[in-house]
């Protein structure tokens, strides 16, 4: 019998990534395309289908060999029915991705949230290996979260969850993408931090940022912040420190609630300045944790980068499909 293969798919807000894995999770081939969500869900799904076919071809695999497809989606999903409920960055709603892909490929399809996929990837193959429970905290443009509890992705009643970016943090604080004033993501995400630094640059307080990136949020990326931090630009150090200490306190609250064995920090901001995040998050946690919770969990940095999503989606699909059959 031919080797069995699994498809891991990461449907992102701007790009999509498909990869074929063998049973030892070696990547045999991949394909990447722009998502172009603005063209609508119909065109988007066509691109997904094309991307899958191309990845299979690139891997030298065949559709016969594919045992199942795991697809991580950028928004809350109904995992039982395989529906992407809402994708704010794509403008798509209530899209039954499982059904559409099953029709096309005649393979079992497992739909999950994209952050859950990345978190499960880190749990299986990266910084979460060996832990019985793991909380992933991924600050980037927004702030994503995911939780693995006793080897399973933690999921809610008919909906994926651990949307830690959307919890209240500062009453009547600034507004974030989801329209929630003072949510965690309105205070500690890359966008929130960059907007404060853009103000500082505009006022002339962050000359190194102003020189390299101006005052346009689109240019003040995680890398820009990391560089200014390294140069020791005082206002940047101050703004970043405050935001990450607040994130650390919030994470301490998660420890009081979930007491995971391990916390994995990932996402664009953390990738750009891993030591700083690790240090400041731990500092914020120490300020907040109650004594019995102080030694419960380790905090580490994610290892897999962009590949966590495809690896986790493939592994979760295999896990779920094995259980079903």
Question: What does the binding site for its own copies look like in residue numbers (CB under 8 A)?
Answer: 75-76, 85-86, 132-133, 145, 149, 154-164, 166-171, 178, 180, 246, 249-250, 252-261, 288, 290-293, 296-297
- Which helix (DSSP H) or strand (DSSP E) does residue 57 occupy? helix 41-58
Give the integer Cα–Cα distance in Å for 260 and 252. Answer: 11
Q: State the angle between helix axes of 234-258 and 222-231 in degrees (0 to 180), rounded to the nearest 10.
A: 120
- Nearest to its own copies of 83, 226 (CB atom): 83
- Nearest to its own copies of 156, 207 (CB atom): 156
- Nearest to its own copies of 218, 290 (CB atom): 290
CB of 245 to its own copies, least distance (A): 10
CB of 166 to its own copies, least distance (A): 5
> Exposure of 216 by Cβ count < 10 A (0-12 exposed, 13-18 middle, 19+ buried)?
exposed
CB of 10 to its own copies, least distance (A): 20
Which tokens sit at 122?
A: 């880190």
Give the integer Cα–Cα distance in Å for 40 and 233. Answer: 43
Query: Is the four-CA dihedral 212, 213, 219, 220 of positive or negative sign?
Result: positive
DSSP 212-224: HHTT-TTT--HHH
- Nearest to its own copies of 203, 294 (CB atom): 294
Is residue 92 within 8 A of residue 44, CB to CB? The reply is yes
Closest by CA to 188, choosing from 256, 145, 250, is 250
- Nearest to its own copies of 191, 255 (CB atom): 255
CB of 78 to its own copies, least distance (A): 9
- Nearest to its own copies of 84, 220 (CB atom): 84
Give the integer Cα–Cα distance in Å for 132 and 271. Answer: 24
CB of 286 to its own copies, least distance (A): 12
CB of 234 to its own copies, least distance (A): 22
Which tokens sit at 82?
A: 């395989």
CB of 83 to its own copies, least distance (A): 10
Coil, strand or helix at 70: strand
- Nearest to its own copies of 2, 290 (CB atom): 290
């Amino acid at each position: 019998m031919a080797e069995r293969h699994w498809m891991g798919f990461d449907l992102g807000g701007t790009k999509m990534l498909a990869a074929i894995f063998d049973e030892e999770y070696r990547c045999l081939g991949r394909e990447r395309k722009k998502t172009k969500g603005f063209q609508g869900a119909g065109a988007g799904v066509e691109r997904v289908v094309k991307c899958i076919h191309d990845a299979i071809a690139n891997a030298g695999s065949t559709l016969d060999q594919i045992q199942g497809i795991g697809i991580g989606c950028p928004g809350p999903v109904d995992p039982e029915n395989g529906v992407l409920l809402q994708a704010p960055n794509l403008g798509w709603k209530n899209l039954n991705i499982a059904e559409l892909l099953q029709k096309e490929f005649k393979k079992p399809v497992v739909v999950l949230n994209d952050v859950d996929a990345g978190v499960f990837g880190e749990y299986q193959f990266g910084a979460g290996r060996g832990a019985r429970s793991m909380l992933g905290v991924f600050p980037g443009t927004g702030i994503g979260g995911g939780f693995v509890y006793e080897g399973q992705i933690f999921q809610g009643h008919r909906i994926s969850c651990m949307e830690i970016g959307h919890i209240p943090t500062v009453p009547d604080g600034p507004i974030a993408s989801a329209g929630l004033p003072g949510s965690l993501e309105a205070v500690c995400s890359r966008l929130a931090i960059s907007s404060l630094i853009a103000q500082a640059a505009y006022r002339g307080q962050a000359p190194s940022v102003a020189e390299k990136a101006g005052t346009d949020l689109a240019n003040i990326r995680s890398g820009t912040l990391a560089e200014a931090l390294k140069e020791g630009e005082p206002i940047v150090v101050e703004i970043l420190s405050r935001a990450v200490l607040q994130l650390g306190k919030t994470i301490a609250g998660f420890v009081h609630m979930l007491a995971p064995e391990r916390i994995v920090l990932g996402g664009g901001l953390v990738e750009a300045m891993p030591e700083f995040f690790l240090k400041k998050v731990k500092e914020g946690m120490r300020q907040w944790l109650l004594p019995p919770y102080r030694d419960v969990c380790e905090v580490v940095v994610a290892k897999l980068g962009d590949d966590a999503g495809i690896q986790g989606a493939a592994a979760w699909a295999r896990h779920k499909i094995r259980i079903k059959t």
